[in-house]
């Protein structure tokens, strides 16, 4: 007789469900899926703000600067009006620099791992919010895969949003643990959870400003879930204030510390737009965020949504109607659920976004950024998971099958949308070209694209784009800099000088701005002004990469090869992963008659970035001087393949052929 009769072997799906029921199996699997989806970002370069915030940041290069991270602005070397107080993000950057130097793949690995950590924190938070196990797992999966998270996961500088969300989710989960009398009958255990929650909130606040809403979220939760049954409205309000008070005290302490650290910061307030403009524009901004959550396509880091001053019907009334319908739907759903989870998730979504809704903190048009939705999207993930788990049976298909199919379709769509859109964060050119194609009115995208074209030798196109910025957006302070750079790179120095005098004064007085302006003066041959700026910068920040690199090149152009060698050698030590400083150091040594020392640097530059024609040309010169004519000929030919207009390469190749 078969002893297994009456006890059939479990199916594969049953076994899978059994093992996934264990968090120690589920969470590593969620982490693996998340990592695979974003693993392509490990091949991405530094982009956009990564250059000033990481590559050119003097503060992250030694742990001795950690105290300064708590007493200064993250961008103090770039501009004086910035108010980015994020010391723990700076500490994370220091750790990355210690581990990886300036190898982009290591920084991207750190950003992806932060997202994996945030996914685990969301699962724990969902469970502590009393969501059933599979609903919490689904919320974590939706949070892991939603394409609106592309920006903070694939862009290193936005990892602060991932960090603050992870800390905030952990802080709220520990708050709920401390509030649960069934889990913590002893007062000491509950106190330990509360202390941990307050410490995690402090970490969140010191990572990014989005955490300032945490005490409000605590108050809302307590008001929705009072300690006593049938509590009166007065007791509910009193309980909410009492339990939120310690978190408000921590937030106040952070605000005082931040104010002291940013004592001289001026902020970014647009004097030409008042509160009425803000009120008219808010519905449009909120509706765009809602659209990105529901239909995550057309994502970019360069949205452009200027203040609403016309088209009231389409840009004010229509968004208000859509948002009103969404609120009514959530209200009705919450009434049917009867446990306030829907209400709290919806309020988490709205309150979590609140710091990004004071539009006057941003430049006109810079109101929508996907990274601001990272923390609020926890609420959306919970709502989406609850909605999917409520799907009923359909025409003979069980509710379980319907729900499984819906999850597969939704998450499959998320994965496809994420893979298709994250590639645009791979380089500055891809990022700016996509932003300009989707939002051609965005002055930042157009000016940035002009700079990219200028660096690649497409001078006419660069000048055309930069001219459109200063013509269409005279209020944009960096337009004159883009146009000046385009003219100067094209050799039109007089026009470049005119626009250089109109560069944003705040930027021109910062360390990094002075380095950029000094480099442009150097290209025009105005070495006296260039060297004066260099001396001023390097006296303040002797380890600022942009200053060492630009000022080294100025000395090179002026024929001061030993001074150029000294500065460029330090630049190479700071960023050994970059080809440009090695190339110019090689040129300084070569032109100083030290070809044997120069050749290894020129070779490294060619190997690291073989698409730059100038690198091949100067490496060819070095090879020719060392007597290796065959290899020199190959390098000149490669130069002409990359740049057919290189007269120097043509002349040298002709001379070699004649020998």
537-590 pLDDT, tens digit each: 888 878 778 788 888 888 898 889 999 999 999 888 887 878 889 999 999 999
Measured CA to CA, the distance from residue 488 to residue 214 in angstroms comes to: 49
**Which pLDDT belongs to residue 164?**
97
Lowest pLDDT segment from 318-322, 349-353, 480-484: 480-484
With cut-offs at 50, 70 and 90, classify the pLDDT of residue 2. Answer: very low
Distance CA 196, CA 528 (A): 57
458 in a domain, yes or no?
A: no
Query: Residue 365's beta-bridge partner residues?
Result: 305
CA atoms 525, 531, 532, 538: torsion sign: positive
Of 293, 286, 326, the closest CA to residue 410 belongs to 293
Q: How far apart are CA 548 and CA 582, in angstroms?
A: 12
User: What is the pLDDT averaged over residues 31-43?
Assistant: 95
- Which residues share a beta bridge with 394? 397
Which CATH number does the domain housing residue 646 bear?
1.25.40.10
- Say yes or no to pLDDT of 329 above 90: yes
Could you tell me which of 490, 422, 395 has the C-alpha nearest to residue 41? 422
Supply the pLDDT for residue 505: 76
Token pair 């994250």 is found at 422
- Exposed/middle/buried for residue 15 (C-beta within 10 Å: 0-12, 13-18, 19+): exposed
530 CB neighbour count, 10 Å cutoff: 25
pLDDT score, position 344: 95
Is the pLDDT higher at 655 or at 412? Answer: 412
Q: Is the pLDDT of residue 514 over 90?
A: no
Label residue 250 by pLDDT band (50, 70, 90). Answer: very high
Phi, psi of 116 (to 5 degrees): -60, -45
pLDDT for res 360: 84
Residue 305's SS3 state is strand
Nearest to 364 by CA among 290, 483, 277: 277
Cα–Cα distance between 170 and 203 in angstroms, integer?
A: 11
Question: Does 449 fall in a domain?
Answer: no
Identify the bridge partners of residue 305 per DSSP, sorted by sequence position: 365
Distance in angstroms (rounded) separating the CA atoms of residues 595 and 617:
14
- Yes or no: say if 75 and 108 are a contact pair by the CB < 8 Å rule: no
CA distance 82 to 413: 38
Angle between helices 479-489 and 493-500 (to 10 degrees): 160
In a domain, 86, yes or no: yes
pLDDT grade for 1, boundaries at 50, 70 and 90: very low
User: Distance between CA 621 and CA 652 in Å, rounded?
Assistant: 9
Residue 56 lies in a domain: yes
Supply φ then ψ for residue 394, to 5 degrees: -140, 120
CB atoms within 10 A of CB 320: 14
The contacts of residue 381 (CB under 8 Å, 6+ apart) are 122, 139, 140, 142, 143, 146
Q: Do 618 and 513 share a structural domain? A: no
Query: What is the CA angle 69-371-95, rounded to 5?
Result: 35
Task: Please say if the pLDDT value at position 475 is more than 50.
Answer: yes
In the chain, how many H helices and how many E strands?
33, 0
More confident residue, 218 or 609: 218
397 strand-pairing partners = 394
Among residues 424, 440, 460, the one where a domain terminates is 424
Which pLDDT does position 540 carry in this prediction?
80
Mean pLDDT, the chain, rounded, equals 88
CA distance 508 to 514: 5
Share of the chain above pLDDT 70, in %: 94
Q: How far apart are CA 625 and CA 613, in angstroms?
A: 19
Task: Indicate whether 437 belongs to any domain.
Answer: no
Backbone angles phi, psi at 47, to 5 degrees: -135, 155
Domain end (from 531, 547, 577):
577
- Terminal-to-terminal C-alpha distance of the chain: 96
Q: For residue 429, is it within any domain?
A: no
Domain shared by 223 and 284, yes or no: yes
Three-class secondary structure of residue 365 per DSSP = strand
- Quick one: pLDDT band at residue 467, thresholds 50, 70, 90? very high
Cα–Cα distance for residue pair 355/216, rounded to 1 Å:
12
pLDDT at 573: 86
Q: What is the pLDDT of residue 269?
A: 58
Residues in the chain: 659
18 vs 138, more confident = 138
In 3D space, the residue among 173, 90, 79, 86 whose CA is nearest the CA of residue 126 turns out to be 173
Q: How confident is the model at residue 116 (pLDDT cuts 50, 70, 90)?
A: very high
Alpha-carbon distances of 43 from 101, 301, 413, 433, 627, rounded to whole Å: 16, 19, 23, 19, 38
The pTM of the full predicted model, rounded to 2 decimals, is 0.85
The average pLDDT across 470-491 equals 88
Q: How far apart are CA 126 and CA 170, in angstroms?
A: 11
Report yes or no on 179 lying in a domain.
Answer: yes
Round to whole Å and give the CA distance between 190 and 170. 15
Phi/psi at 263 (5° precision): -55, -35
Instruction: Tell me the residue range of the domain where 626 lies.
Output: 595-659
**pLDDT tier at 56, thresholds 50, 70, 90:** confident
Task: Of 245-259, 482-496, 524-538, give the lowest mean pLDDT range.
Answer: 524-538
3-state secondary structure of 335: helix
- 568 and 602 in a single domain? The answer is no
Which pLDDT tens digit goes with each residue over 6-30? Answer: 555 555 556 566 777 888 888 999 9
With 0-12 / 13-18 / 19 or more C-beta atoms within 10 angstroms meaning exposed / middle / buried, residue 341 is buried
Tokens standing for residue 481: 């800099």
Judged by average pLDDT, the poorest of 118-132, 341-355, 531-545 is: 531-545
Percent of the residues in the chain that have a pLDDT greater than 90, as a whole number: 53
Residues 658 and 520 in one domain: no
Place of tokens 């319908």: 325
Domains of the chain: total: 3
pLDDT class of 602 with cuts at 50, 70, 90: very high
Least reliable range by pLDDT among 201-215, 276-290, 420-434, 518-532: 518-532
CB atoms under 10 Å from CB of 146, counted, come to 24
Classify the C-alpha dihedral 86-88-90-93 as positive or negative.
negative
**654 and 517 both lie in a single domain:** no
**Cα R_g (the chain), whole angstroms:** 29
Same domain for 135 and 275, yes or no, is yes
Dist CA 173 CA 179 (whole Å): 10
- Where is pLDDT greater, at 546 or 371? 371
Q: Which residue has the tokens 């530094």?
A: 46
573 and 602 share a domain? no
pLDDT range class, residue 82, cuts 50, 70, 90: low
Q: How many C-beta atoms lie closer than 10 Å to residue 63's C-beta?
A: 12
Contact 388, 403 (CB under 8 A): yes
Place of tokens 């490294």: 604
Highest mean pLDDT among 8-22, 411-425, 470-484: 411-425
Query: What's the whole-number mean pLDDT along residues 139-163?
Result: 96
Torsion of CA 537, 540, 543, 546, to 10 degrees: -30
Average pLDDT over residues 389-408: 87
Greatest Cα pair distance in the chain: 101
Residue 456 is classified by DSSP as T
3-state secondary structure 529-561: HHHHHHHHHHHHCCCCHHHHHHHHHHHHHCCCH
Q: Are 338 and 274 in contact (CB under 8 A)?
A: no
Please indicate, yes or no, whether residues 55 and 175 belong to a single structural domain of this protein: yes
Among 149, 28, 159, smallest CA distance to 89 is for: 159
Q: Between 1 and 450, whose confidence is greater? A: 450
Position 430 scores a pLDDT of: 93
Please check whether residues 541 and 636 belong to one and the same domain. Answer: no
Q: What pLDDT score was predicted for residue 435?
A: 93
Per-residue confidence (pLDDT) for residue 3, from 0 to 100:
46
Say which range, 76-80, 315-319, 458-462, 551-555, has the weakest mean pLDDT.
76-80
Residue 480 lies in a domain: no
Looking at the structure, tell me whether residues 544 and 626 fall in a common domain.
no
Among 424, 441, 475, where does a domain finish? 424
Are residue 252 and residue 379 in the same domain, yes or no?
yes
Q: How far apart are CA 529 and CA 516, in angstroms?
A: 12
Verify that 246 and 178 share a domain, yes or no.
yes
Whether 432 has a pLDDT exceeding 80, the answer reads yes
Least confident window among 278-287, 378-387, 647-656: 647-656
Q: In this predicted structure, what is the pLDDT of residue 253?
A: 95
């Amino acid at each position: 007789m078969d002893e297994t009769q009456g006890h059939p072997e479990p199916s594969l799906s049953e076994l899978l469900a059994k093992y996934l029921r264990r968090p120690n199996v589920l969470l590593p699997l969620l982490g693996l899926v998340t990592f695979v989806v974003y693993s392509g970002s490990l091949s991405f370069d530094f982009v956009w703000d990564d250059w000033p915030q990481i590559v050119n940041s003097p503060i992250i290069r030694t742990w001795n600067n950690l105290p300064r991270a708590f007493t200064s602005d993250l961008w103090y070397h770039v501009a004086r009006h910035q108010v980015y107080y994020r010391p723990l993000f700076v500490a994370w950057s220091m750790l990355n620099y210690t581990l990886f130097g300036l190898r982009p793949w290591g920084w991207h690995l750190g950003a992806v791992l932060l997202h994996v950590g945030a996914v685990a924190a969301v699962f724990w938070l969902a469970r502590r919010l009393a969501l059933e196990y599979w609903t919490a797992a689904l919320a974590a999966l939706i949070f892991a895969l939603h394409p609106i998270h592309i920006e903070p996961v694939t862009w290193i500088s936005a990892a602060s949003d991932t960090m603050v969300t992870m800390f905030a989710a952990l802080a709220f989960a520990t708050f709920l643990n401390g509030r649960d009398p069934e889990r913590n009958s002893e007062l000491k255990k509950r106190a330990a959870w509360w202390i941990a929650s307050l410490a995690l909130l402090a970490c969140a606040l010191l990572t990014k400003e989005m955490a300032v809403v945490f005490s409000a979220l605590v108050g809302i939760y307590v008001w929705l879930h009072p300690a006593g049954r049938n509590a009166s409205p007065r007791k509910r309000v009193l309980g909410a204030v009492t339990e939120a008070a310690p978190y408000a005290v921590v937030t106040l302490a952070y605000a005082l510390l931040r104010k002291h650290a940013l004592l001289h910061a001026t902020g970014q307030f647009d004097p030409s737009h008042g509160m009425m403009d803000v009120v008219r524009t808010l519905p449009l901004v909120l509706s765009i965020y809602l659209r990105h959550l529901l239909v995550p396509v057309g994502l970019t880091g360069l949205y452009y949504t200027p203040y609403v001053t016309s088209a009231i019907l389409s840009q004010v009334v229509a968004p208000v109607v859509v948002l009103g319908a969404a609120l009514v739907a959530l209200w009705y759903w919450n009434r049917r659920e009867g446990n306030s989870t829907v209400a709290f998730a919806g309020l988490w979504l709205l309150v979590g976004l609140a710091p990004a809704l004071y539009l006057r903190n941003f430049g006109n048009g810079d109101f929508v950024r996907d990274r601001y939705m990272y923390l609020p999207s926890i609420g959306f993930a919970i709502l989406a998971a609850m909605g999917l788990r409520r799907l009923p049976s359909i025409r003979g298909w069980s509710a379980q099958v319907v729900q499984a199919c819906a999850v597969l379709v939704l998450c499959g769509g998320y994965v496809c949308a994420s893979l298709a859109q994250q590639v645009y964060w791979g380089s500055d050119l891809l990022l700016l070209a996509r932003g300009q194609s989707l939002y051609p009115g965005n002055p930042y995208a157009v000016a940035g694209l002009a700079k990219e074209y200028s660096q690649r030798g497409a001078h006419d196109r660069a000048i055309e784009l930069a001219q459109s910025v200063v013509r269409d957006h005279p209020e944009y302070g960096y337009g004159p800099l883009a146009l000046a750079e385009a003219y100067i790179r094209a050799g039109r120095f007089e026009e470049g000088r005119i626009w250089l005098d109109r560069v944003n004064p705040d930027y021109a007085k910062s360390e990094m701005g002075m380095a950029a302006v000094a480099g442009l003066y150097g290209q025009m041959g105005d070495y006296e002004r260039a060297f004066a700026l260099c001396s001023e910068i390097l006296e303040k920040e002797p380890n600022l990469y942009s200053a060492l690199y630009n000022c080294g090149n100025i000395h090179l152009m002026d024929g001061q090869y030993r001074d150029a060698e000294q500065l460029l050698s330090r630049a190479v030590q700071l960023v050994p992963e970059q080809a440009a400083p090695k190339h110019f150091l090689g040129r300084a040594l070569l032109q100083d008659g030290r070809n044997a020392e120069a050749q290894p640097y020129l070779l490294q530059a060619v190997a690291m970035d073989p698409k730059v024609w100038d690198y091949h040309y100067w490496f060819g010169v070095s090879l020719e001087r060392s007597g290796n004519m065959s290899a020199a000929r190959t390098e000149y030919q490669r130069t002409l393949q990359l740049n057919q207009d290189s007269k120097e390469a043509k002349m040298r190749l002709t001379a070699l052929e004649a020998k």
